[in-house]
Amino acid sequence: MAGEVRARRGLAGLLRLGLGQKACDAALTGDLGRAVAAIAEEEAIADAVGDAPLVYCRLLLAALRGRATEALPLFWAVAAAESAQPGGRVTNLNWTTALLHNGLGDYPAALAAARRVLDDGELFHVGGTLPELIEARRQLRDRPLSAG
C-alpha cells in the first residue's frame, strides 16, 4: 500500500512538472489563458497529493503581466524561502524580477536583478536574462555600466 502511494505521488510530481513547463511555454509565447489553465491544474494536483504548488511558472506569469501588486508579494515569499539555497529558484526569481521591473519601467531595479543572475552564472538563466539586461542598460544608457 505504501509503495503504491509513493508511486502515485511520484507520477503526480512528474505530471506537475510537465504542467509547470506547459505554463511557462504558454506564458513565454503569449498564451496567458493556457498558462493560467496549466497553473490551475498543477495547483489542483499539488493540493490533492498534499504538496505545495510549483512557484516558478506563477512567478513568470506574474512578471509578464506586469502586475506588481500580485507579483511582488510572491517574489518576496519565494526569496525568503529560497535565500539559503543558491541557484535554481533564486536565479529564476532574479530573472523574473528583472522582467517585471523592465516592464514597469523601473530600470535600475531591473538592471540590479539581471546582474544577480549573471553573478550566479547559470547558463540557462543567463541566456534568458541577457535581453532584460540589455533593455535596462538601453534605458539607462547615459550611465556608465559600473554605475548601474
Q: Name the CA radius of gyration of the chain, rounded.
A: 17
30: helix, strand or coil: coil
Task: Dump pLDDT digits (tens) for 24-43.
Answer: 999 999 999 999 999 999 99
Q: Flag whether pLDDT at 84 surpasses 80.
A: no
User: What pLDDT, on a 0 to 100 scale, did the predictor assign at position 56?
Assistant: 86
Cβ neighbours, 10 Å, residue 25: 14
Q: Verify that 40 and 70 share a domain, yes or no.
A: no
Cβ neighbours, 10 Å, residue 132: 26
User: Do residues 98 and 117 make contact, with C-beta atoms less than 8 angstroms apart?
Assistant: yes
Cell of 134: 540589455
Q: Verify that 48 and 83 share a domain, yes or no.
A: no
Task: Dump pLDDT digits (tens) for 117-132.
Answer: 888 877 777 888 999 9
Q: Which domain holds residue 59?
A: 55-148
Q: Verify that 36 and 98 share a domain, yes or no.
A: no
User: What pLDDT, on a 0 to 100 scale, did the predictor assign at position 35?
Assistant: 97
Contacts of 137 (CB under 8 A, 6+ apart): 111, 145
DSSP H helical segments within 50-88, as ranges?
A: 56-65, 68-82
Question: What amino acid is encoded at 20 in this protein?
Answer: G
User: What pLDDT, on a 0 to 100 scale, did the predictor assign at position 17?
Assistant: 95
Q: Verify that 67 and 11 share a domain, yes or no.
A: no
pTM over 0.85: no
Average pLDDT on 1-20 reads: 79
Give the residue from 53, 71, 87 where a domain finishes. 53
Cβ neighbours, 10 Å, residue 122: 19
Q: Verify that 23 and 40 share a domain, yes or no.
A: yes
User: What pLDDT, on a 0 to 100 scale, did the predictor assign at position 78?
Assistant: 82
